[in-house]
Amino acid sequence: MIEADIAVVGGGIAALTAAAEAARRGRRVQVFTGALPGGLLLSIEAVQGLPEHPDGIAGYDLCPMAQEAAMDAGAACIADEAGAVQRDGGRWLVRGADAALSAVNAINAVSARALILAPGSRLRALGVPGEERLAGKGVSHCASCDAPLLRGKTVAVVGGGDAACQEALTLAAHAARVHLLLRGEALRARPAWQQRVQAQPRIDLQPRTEVAEVLGDAAVGGLRLRDGRTLAVDAVFIYIGLQPATEWLAGAPATVALDSDGRIADDAAQGLFAAGTARRGNDGQAATAIDEAVAAARAADEFLA
Ligand SMILES: Cc1cc2nc3c(=O)[nH]c(=O)nc-3n(C[C@H](O)[C@H](O)[C@H](O)COP(=O)(O)OP(=O)(O)OC[C@H]3O[C@@H](n4cnc5c(N)ncnc54)[C@H](O)[C@@H]3O)c2cc1C
């Protein structure tokens, strides 16, 4: 076990920004990043809402840069997920999830006076037959990864928010036809996304359309819809919201309070701070995650002082 001033949990933009800011304030910082840092931004090309670099900056470049900045500032990264958190004599004890990785890293736990939790979120699944079986065989959550392989094909995007619109537009640059399937009556995305979707002739908006099953043997061949229709598609991309990655904290309700959606609330009196999409009240934007991360590092620093 090693001691730190601040333990940080997460490998996305929120955790890495918080770690960099806390280390720049002279704090000893240990970050459980998980085995593959980067988070949701890893699969996003153009990140809307962040200040634009003259040459543009891809989401998948942003987290490696943030990790480098955190390490340059003196934060130490542990390539394991945090598996448990507990209070231990006025300190926070964070244990690694994977015994084999703990052995490789030669660290199985971090004891720290303050804790910043930023484990982010996973994309919600539809929960219909065929979805899990055909994952990676046409069922995807990464348009920018798969779009170039779908030139001239027909695909479906499920969802009506910003992420669904953004990814439908990415796919429309390659695919022949993109069916954008909405459960409700209208898109929920911000007006700028709605206008771009409506102006793209290859996107076909289908309101009041729910997927009942993903069809196909070796690969996706179509979708069975709840109204009984079948839609022939070569791939389906699912963006129906985020699920906070906080199940591993549910066993410690006395130490870390989660709301009914599984999001984390700060407990400043105990030196517990949250940032990013797993924090209560976060709006899902990367700029907000960065803002919350800097605020969390500052609050943890003040708590220690
Ligand atoms: C398709 C799509 C398009 C988007 N486009 C935009 C956009 O254009 N502009 C914008 O501002 N935002 C966009 N977003 C949202 C953006 O991705 C998020 O705001 C941002 O990634 C949140 O960062 P985070 O650090 O909170 O979480 P995440 O990115 O989810 O990162 C969390 C990290 O923590 C790790 N982790 C989880 N549990 C543990 C644990 N127990 N221990 C250690 N590590 C753990 C995860 O593996 C992951 O690496 C988009 C999202 C999607 C899905």
Segment 70-117, tens digit of pLDDT: 999 999 999 999 999 999 889 999 999 987 777 777 778 999 999 999
CATH topology of domain 125-238: FAD/NAD(P)-binding domain (3.50.50)
What does the DSSP assignment read for 233-296? Answer: -SEEEE-S-EEES-GGGTT-TTTS-B-TTS-B--BGGGTEEE-STTBTT--S-HHHHHHHHHHH
What local confidence, expressed as pLDDT, does residue 253 receive?
A: 56
Task: Give the side-chain half-sphere CA count within 13 A for 61.
Answer: 8
Distance (angstroms) between ligand 1 centre and the Cα of 142 equals: 13
What local confidence, expressed as pLDDT, does residue 252 receive?
A: 60
Segment 243-256, tens digit of pLDDT: 999 999 987 656 89
One fold for both 2-122+242-304 and 125-238? Answer: yes
Which residues make Cβ contacts (< 8 Å) with residue 61, sequence separation at least 6? Answer: none
Segment 273-301, tens digit of pLDDT: 999 999 999 999 999 999 999 999 999 99
3-state secondary structure of 98: coil
pLDDT band at residue 1, thresholds of 50, 70 and 90? confident
Report CA-CA distances (Å) from 33 to 39, 83, 120, 143, 263: 10, 12, 11, 24, 19
CB atoms under 10 Å from CB of 52, counted, come to 11
| CB of 244 sitting under 6 A from ligand 1 | no
What local confidence, expressed as pLDDT, does residue 245 receive?
A: 96
Distance (angstroms) between ligand 1 centre and the Cα of 120 equals: 5
Separation of alpha carbons 196 and 123, rounded Å = 23
| Extents of the domains making up the chain | 2-122+242-304, 125-238
If one residue of 13, 30, 33, 41 were mutated to test the ligand 1 pocket, choosing by the most ligand atoms within 8 A of its CB, it would be 41
* Torsions phi, psi for 136 (to 5 deg): 80, -5
Residue 209 has pLDDT above 90, yes or no: yes
Alpha carbon nearest to ligand 1 atom 45, residue: 10
Segment 215-270, tens digit of pLDDT: 999 999 999 999 999 999 999 999 999 999 999 998 765 689 899 999 999 999 99
Alpha carbon nearest to ligand 1 atom 43, residue: 81
What local confidence, expressed as pLDDT, does residue 57 receive?
A: 79
Quote the pTM value.
0.91
The class of domain 2-122+242-304 in CATH terms is alpha beta
| CB of 96 sitting under 6 A from ligand 1 | no
